[in-house]
């Protein structure tokens, strides 16, 4: 599964916010955050614009690393 490292996530609220932001991107079928590793993974139902996904996460206050 494709993934991104997201820093700044510390609790369930962060997890939910990032999963929700990711789910709003076209093509993201299911987004999952692992808080321990700070990783967002997702399943694609169509090609995903990763730049768009990164922007959505940055916009809600988290930092995305490649
Ligand atoms: Cu939090």
The Å distance, Cα 13 to ligand 1 centre, comes to: 4
The Å distance, Cα 48 to ligand 1 centre, comes to: 25
Mean pLDDT for all residues in the chain: 97
Which CATH architecture is the domain 3-65 placed in? 2-Layer Sandwich (3.30)
The Å distance, Cα 22 to ligand 1 centre, comes to: 16
For residues 15 and 13, give the distance between their C-alpha atoms in angstroms, rounded to a whole number.
Answer: 5
Write down the pTM of the prediction: 0.95
Confidence of residue 7 (pLDDT cuts 50, 70, 90): very high
Structure tokens at 33: 């955050």
Parse the chain into domains and list their residue ranges: 3-65
């Amino acid at each position: 599964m494709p993934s991104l490292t997201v820093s700044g996530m510390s609790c369930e609220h962060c997890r939910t916010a990032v999963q929700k932001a990711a789910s709003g991107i076209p093509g993201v079928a299911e987004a999952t955050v692992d808080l321990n590793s700070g990783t967002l993974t997702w399943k694609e139902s169509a090609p995903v614009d990763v730049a768009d996904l990164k922007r959505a996460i940055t916009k809600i206050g988290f930092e995305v690393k490649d």
